[in-house]
Amino acid sequence: MSNEVMNMALVYITCRDNSEAEKISRHLLERRLIACANIFPVKSLYWWDGRIVDENEVVIFAKAVDYEAVKEEVKKIHSYSVPCILKINTEANPEYMQWVKKVVGLK
């Protein structure tokens, strides 16, 4: 077994609702930019326009290899003027990483 480090990006994306999260996830999947997306409802508190906003959002955790490509594609279709698109570096088990690479078209 190789000692190769299996790096991938976990991309954290907040969305206004479940419909948008599913739309973005399917868009990224169809373009083979991500291998998988997990969608979760969250309660968000943040500063916007000089006040604290308290609202429900939906978060996507997308498994990707090319964060830059995912980021640029999400920016094109996201409803927010300033979308949250965070890269979380991760290390995957070899079998899972092999599957991710296969799904996104890498060897």
pLDDT digits (tens, 9 = 90+) for 58-90: 999 999 999 999 999 999 999 999 999 999 988
pLDDT of 5 strictly over 90: no
Containing domain of residue 99, as a range? 7-103
What separation in angstroms does the CA of 27 have from each of 6, 21, 23, 101?
25, 10, 6, 18
Residue 1 falls inside a structural domain: no
pTM to 2 decimal places: 0.90
Tell me the mean pLDDT in the region 43-68: 96
CA 40 to chain CA centroid, nearest Å: 12
Would you say how long the chain is, in residues? 107
Distance CA 79, CA 83 (A): 8
CA separation for the pair 103, 36 (Å, rounded): 9
Question: How large is the average pLDDT for residues 19-46?
Answer: 98
* Assigned domain for 25 exists: yes
Average pLDDT over residues 4-25: 90
Read off the pLDDT of each residue in 13-18 and give the average, rounded to a whole number: 98
CA distances from 103 to 42, 52, 63, 91 (A): 28, 40, 11, 17
Q: Is residue 18 part of a domain?
A: yes
What was the pLDDT predicted at 68?
A: 96
Please check whether residue 2 lies inside any domain of the structure.
Answer: no
The CATH number assigned to the domain holding 62 equals: 3.30.70.120
Q: Please check whether residue 99 lies inside any domain of the structure.
A: yes
> For the chain, what is the domain count?
1
Q: Is the pLDDT of residue 52 over 80?
A: yes
> 22 lies in a domain?
yes
